[in-house]
Amino acid sequence: MAKFRFLNTPFTIKNLALKNRLVMPPMCQYQATDGVPNDWHYVHYVSRAVGGAGLIIVEMTNVAPNGRISPRCLGLWNDEQRDGFKKIVDAVHAQGSKIAIQIAHAGRKALGTDDVVSASANGAYGGGVEADPRWGGYQEPRELSRAEIAQTVQAFQDAVRRAVEAGFDAIELHGAHGYLIHQFHAPKTNLRSDEYGENKFLFGEQVIAAARAVMPPEMPLLVRISAQEYGANGYDLAYGCEIAKHYAAAGADVIDVSGGGDDTPDAAHMPQIAAGYQVYLADAVKKATGLPVIAVGLLDDPAVADYVLGSGAADLVAVGRGLLRDPYWLLNAQYRQTAADAAPVQFVPDSYRRAFGV
Ligand SMILES: Cc1cc2nc3c(=O)[nH]c(=O)nc-3n(C[C@H](O)[C@H](O)[C@H](O)COP(=O)(O)O)c2cc1C
């Protein structure tokens, strides 16, 4: 079994010192009441810290009630929610892991609200995924006024300030998967004729600036983007790199590189789903921005994840569903290596090579 050379190496960005390169990416749990974290979230996140993940990113946590993709999603629009996170943050720290939180607004993909908003009123989200029947279907959004855009930027800032107060080590802004920031920078969902339409990156840049203003300067800001849209008429990777460059200039320290979420996936506009299927996106964004990047997407084979790190395409690897299935993903990967080291002498690589003449 190939030695993992990179997964277990430390990585530092600003004052965030990670013990290894494994990231648990944000994954909605739909278990909150009134946006407040509870015992489920505590067990869920702390068990991944026990399993050794270097960085845990708490799921999409929303800046307003109408920014949730279900009424059971987490929020940070009040102090009770903030205080609920402190216990989780402290327990993750006690295990030697670092913890960030993904701050978001769903925009036109919100469910369970009668006030669905977006950059433009451009029809209900199609998506190809059935909305959960408990929370109603996707609705046509109404266009945010300029005053409401300013209020939304303020809501992002207030949520980030609360996350800092709760003790998080880093902030991630959700600019991916067809949610509000993505809706503003995507030409097919931003049909505005004001300054937010003329400069499609303006809203995201304002959110980044607002976040930075309430973060300690040495705390890293991560921004997750879809570097390529996967639906018909979606933007391409070159445009995704432009988004990343704008957000890097606005203050992002790390780009968390995902894809899609904009619409019903179209085979002609997306990669084939296989191991490491989005690594090429991370590689391109890293080259375009010069910033550290996180790669994600079917990296659950530790050897593949290690290879991606070694190739230089990404600085950190996120393992989502793999960590849902196995909180001890990294520990088990290490255990399998040790077990391989202890294999009978007949199986060691040298004997193998001789036996098969390679
Ligand atoms: C149950 C579930 C919930 C998710 N929720 C979020 C989320 O809150 N925010 C986000 O940016 N991505 C979310 N994702 C996407 C993951 O972060 C990740 O990018 C995706 O699962 C691909 O990685 P994987 O192949 O390692 O699972 C979710 C994925 C799953 C499976």
Residue 39's pLDDT is 98
Residue 133 predicted with pLDDT over 80: no
Q: Give the whole-number percent of the chain exceeding pLDDT 70.
A: 92
Q: Residue 319 Cα, ligand 1 centroid: separation in angstroms?
A: 9
| Residue of 125, 138, 179, 247 with catalytic role | 179
Residue nearest to atom 5 of ligand 1 (CA): 27
DSSP-assigned beta bridge partners for residue 118: 143
What is the separation, in whole angstroms, between the first and last Cα of the chain?
A: 16
Residue 357 pLDDT class (50, 70, 90 cuts):
very low
For residue 219, report the distance from its CA to the centre of ligand 1, in Å.
Answer: 24
Closest CA to ligand 1's atom 4? 27
CA of 358 to the centre of ligand 1 (A): 41
Q: What separation in angstroms does the CA of 340 have from each of 41, 43, 152?
A: 35, 31, 53
Q: What is the pLDDT of residue 56?
A: 99
All domains in the chain, ordered by first residue: 11-356 (3.20.20.70)
237 by DSSP, 3-state: which?
helix
- Categorize the per-residue pLDDT at 135 as very low, low, confident or very high, splitting at 50, 70 and 90: confident
Query: What tens digit of pLDDT does each residue of 238-252 get?
Result: 999 999 999 999 999
List, in order, residues 6 or more apart from 175 with CB less than 8 Å away.
181, 182, 185, 204, 223, 224, 225, 243, 247
- Could you tell me what percent of the chain has a pLDDT over 90? 87
Q: Is 177 a catalytic residue?
A: yes
Ligand 1 centre distance from Cα of residue 103 (Å): 14
- Ligand 1 site-directed mutation target among 28, 29, 58, most atoms within 8 Å of CB: 28
pLDDT averaged over every residue in the chain: 94
What spacing in Å lies between the alpha carbon of 262 and ligand 1's midpoint? 14
Contact 52, 97 (CB under 8 A): yes
Active site residue 174: yes
- Which residues are near ligand 1 (CB < 6 Å)? 25-28, 59-60, 102, 174, 176-177, 224, 258, 296-300, 319-322
pLDDT at 251: 98
The pLDDT value given to residue 129: 60
Ligand 1 atom with the shortest distance to the CA of 318: 26
Pick from 53-62, 124-133, 146-155, 238-247: least confident: 124-133
Substitution site in 22, 27, 174, 255 for ligand 1 pocket (most atoms within 8 Å of beta carbon): 27
pLDDT, tens digit, 9 for 90 and up, residues 193-213: 999 999 999 999 999 999 999
Whether 352 has a pLDDT exceeding 60, the answer reads no
Span 141-167, average pLDDT: 98
The residues facing 255 across adjacent strands are: 223, 293
Phi, psi of 87 (to 5 degrees): -60, -40
Which two three-digit tokens encode residue 210? 């607002």
pLDDT of 169 strictly over 80: yes
Q: Indicate if 182 belongs to the active site.
A: no
Residue 353 pLDDT: 52
| Residue 240, pLDDT score | 98
Query: What's the pLDDT at 172?
Result: 99
Q: How confident is the model at residue 170, as a pLDDT?
A: 99
345 has pLDDT over 80: no
Q: Is 331 in a helix, a strand, or coil?
A: helix
pLDDT at 320: 98
Residue pair 67/113 in contact (Cβ under 8 Å)? The answer is no
Classified as helix, coil or strand, 174 is: strand
Q: pLDDT digits over 20-69, tens only?
A: 999 999 999 999 999 999 999 999 999 999 999 999 999 999 999 999 99
pLDDT exceeds cutoff 80 at 358? no
> Residue with the nearest Cα to atom 29 of ligand 1?
27
